[in-house]
Amino acid sequence: MSTRATTAVAFAMFYGIYGAAIGAVVLLCVVMPLAQGLGEHTGVVGFLLGIGRALAMTFLMLPVAFALGMLPGIATGTAFWWLRTRTAVSRLPVLAKAAVGAAVAWIACAVFCVCFGASVADLGSPELWSMYLVPGLVAGFLCTWLVERQARKASLS
């Protein structure tokens, strides 16, 4: 395989694995406690019971969230690898590249939602934002920032 193809595969794998893991963590730390109603309980006992339910749901959702996040992650990695080779994106600062990576991830997650039956009009709903689009946005931003930070370290040494 050529170096160019290896780089594309490396980006796809990095975003597919780490992006899916980051998206699953965001989903489980933010969305699942809200879905389980941690904010509805009054008193210490109700709050502790809500945490137990959220932890039980976490162990059920982690494999599903990771598996579902791999496809948009691979698409994001491949698309950002292609964008990164373009002059306009390659000259951007690291945080701007991370914003571009987050936008690409958001688009990949939106396409993923539509492929699984959501209508385009549903993309504005809070459920889709919290379950798919926000975890993808955060994962795309963090993965791009990590890739660019690593590339910068390699170029300085």
- Look at the pTM and tell me if it is higher than 0.85: no
What integer pLDDT is reported at residue 137 of this predicted model? Answer: 92
Residue 5 scores a pLDDT above 60: no
Residue 139 scores a pLDDT above 90: yes
DSSP annotation of 123 reads G
Which helix (H) or strand (E) segment holds residue 74: the answer is: helix 44-84
What integer pLDDT is reported at residue 1 of this predicted model? Answer: 39
What integer pLDDT is reported at residue 48 of this predicted model? Answer: 64
DSSP annotation of 131 reads I
